[in-house]
Homo-oligomer: A and B are copies of this chain.
Amino acid sequence: MRGHALAMILTLGSHDLFLDIFDAAPVLDLHPGEVLIHAGTKADQVFNILNGMVMAHRTGSDGRRQILSFLVRNNFVGLTSTDDYFFTVEAVVETRVAICSRSALMERLNNDPAAERTYLNMLHRVLEDAYDLVYSLGQRTAIERLAVFLLYLRYWHRICENIVDDQDAHLNRVTLPMKREDIADFLGLKKETVSRGFRQLEERALIHRDEHSHVSILNLPALRELAGIRDFASPRHLSANLQP
């Protein structure tokens, strides 16, 4: 298994069982801000992120926007229980995705019980991750949400690069490819609060802001303490995702 299930929104960490659907599939290149999926349109395609990053969000008619997930390599997006997408997906950076028809995926799942079971299991994990976000939004303070978010990015990076050692030094330099406002809309905050939160984390010597789009984690244990025990490097996630 090469993927992971941290990504949300009907999004699965791909598994070898699914990857082959996209092996010879057409690809699409997206520029930052380009929209892959428009909420409300017919949900007849599914996508696999090959590289880059996209974000799925729901935006109300009054302009309020909630980002539901950031998706990276080997994440899977597009399936819904209904005929239409209920979320929008747009590129955060230069991104390449593979395209597959929804019917082809469904056929694969229907004809391959092992694939369907794998899909089911991953969907469970995606749901559990959605509840992680619910807990953050409902119970954690701004700075705690930021701590969780940084650990979340660090974990993604670890999975994508297949780095086994949790203490690997590379992991402590975290890339933030999205805008501050995107982080804010993901964490239920405003962009100014995100800025101030990072500053406070720096004042407490938990992180160092190298550039706008990079931070270094200086004190991982303290950051985890702040985020609460539910670190994304918890055994629950690792055991399910790091099998070779």
Contacts and interface: CB of A to CB of B under 8 A. Distances in A.
Interface of A: 5, 8-10, 58, 60-62, 64-66, 68, 79-82, 84, 86-87, 109-110, 113, 116-117, 119-128, 130-131, 133-135, 137-140, 185-188, 228-230, 236, 239-240
Contact of A110 (B68, B117, B137, B236): B117
Which of A5, A82, A131 has the most B CB atoms < 10 Å from its CB?
A131
B131 A240 contact: no
Nearest to A139: B64
B58 A135 contact: yes
B121 A81 contact: yes
A32 to B, nearest CB: 23
Given A137-B137, A229-B60, A124 B68 contact: no
Contacts of A185: 138
Contact of A10 (B61, B87, B127): B127
B82 A236 contact: yes
Contact of A130 (B81, B84, B119, B130): B130
A186 B137 CA distance: 11
Contacts of A120: 109, 116, 119-120, 123
A139 B82 contact: no
A79 B185 CA distance: 30
Contacts of A60: 135, 139, 228-230
24 contacts: A9-B127, A10-B128, A58-B135, A60-B135, A61-B229, A64-B140, A65-B139, A66-B135, A68-B131, A68-B134, A81-B124, A81-B125, A82-B236, A84-B236, A86-B128, A109-B120, A113-B116, A116-B116, A116-B117, A130-B131, A130-B134, A134-B134, A134-B137, A137-B138
